[in-house]
Structure 1
């Protein structure tokens, strides 16, 4: 660390105090999967359900982050890793405020996801693998990206000219070929709610 950097984490309210205030446990729910797999749609539906249950969440999405804090990064392997590193650091800051982060990023390699997990912490990193087959994603192609990638107009495109490595042991695996996405989210909630539920007895 630079000798001229002095952190102030010891001078601000700690995570536990903020979790008590919000009556929830801060966690990072990290959606990974191919472009067009349904990550952002599922993340948005999950946020809606959690909000109705009085949980305070924040979504971080690939396009939004790339248009702001990471707009200086391109899609080389090095920049994609840096993209994930920054996202993980931002997520950790939110999480330490007791907020539930819902992150939707392709994050295609185990190296990238391991970096995010290391920064956030293993017990706070809830990995959700949206396991939608490439052919289904390509049929959907909501942004026309696969078509451009097939023509060679987009380089290093995950699933076409760049690999996607399936997670080894995700917290949840979602089959997003099911048309009933609301039911999919309800099934996800069964596993997520015990992880974020506030238990005042545990802090005594």
Structure 2
């Protein structure tokens, strides 16, 4: 809990200076979509392409974060909100370090994604909607979660008995049913290049 004695400490080296040293514009790529939509797969493919472009990046995966920082949280609506609040704060710090940082979370509630956006400066938050029909997600079901949710073994599962708010105006809209993983990744990297996040080498 914050107190009146907690003061934000300003760094001598600025975010802009860190970004310029890396020859890029720092930002937060926020992937959202249903379980099984391909968020992590595409995010990893984008991270690989950015690495080859000599960009400085870091990928915060939802499952990985729940092994540590958010290991005390469940999947109730309240815990999902706290999960996003914490990772938004971490993402903000990573952006301040000059990185192009990626988060791959279902993040089902628009209000939570808006909260994350509001923490950053204009142009630093890039919402990436990984748009995959639930029928395809269920067919993939890489972790067997949809099967368990349909059987009532998992409660509060997004798309089944918990709401997913479809993004209304994402910066990047990726329709995975029509594209390969490579094409999806290229669409995202092309957006970053077109909007000056990646500078010519």
TM-score where L is the length of structure 1: 0.92
CA contact (8 A) 1:89 1:120 kept: no
Q: Deviations over 1:12-32 (max 9, x none)?
A: 411011112111111001100
Counterpart secondary structure, 1:93: helix
Corresponding residue number in structure 1 for 2:40: 40
Corresponding residue number in structure 1 for 2:3: 2
2:158 and 2:122 mapped to 1: Cα distance? 25
Count the aligned residue pairs.
198
CA contact (8 A) 1:50 1:57 kept: yes
CA contact (8 A) 2:55 2:198 kept: no
Runs (4+) of structure 1 exceeding 2 A deviation are none
Corresponding residue number in structure 1 for 2:89: 89
1:198 Cα deviation (Å)? 4.2
Q: Give 5+ residue unaligned stretches, structure 1.
A: 200-204
Q: Give 5+ residue unaligned stretches, structure 2.
A: none
1:128 and 1:195 mapped to 2: Cα distance? 17
Determine which structure has the larger helix proportion and give its number: 1
CA contact (8 A) 1:28 1:102 kept: yes
Counterpart secondary structure, 1:113: helix
1:84 Cα deviation (Å)? 0.4
Corresponding residue number in structure 2 for 1:73: 73
1:12-51 correspondence to structure 2 within 5 Å: 12-51=12-51
TM-score where L is the length of structure 2: 0.94
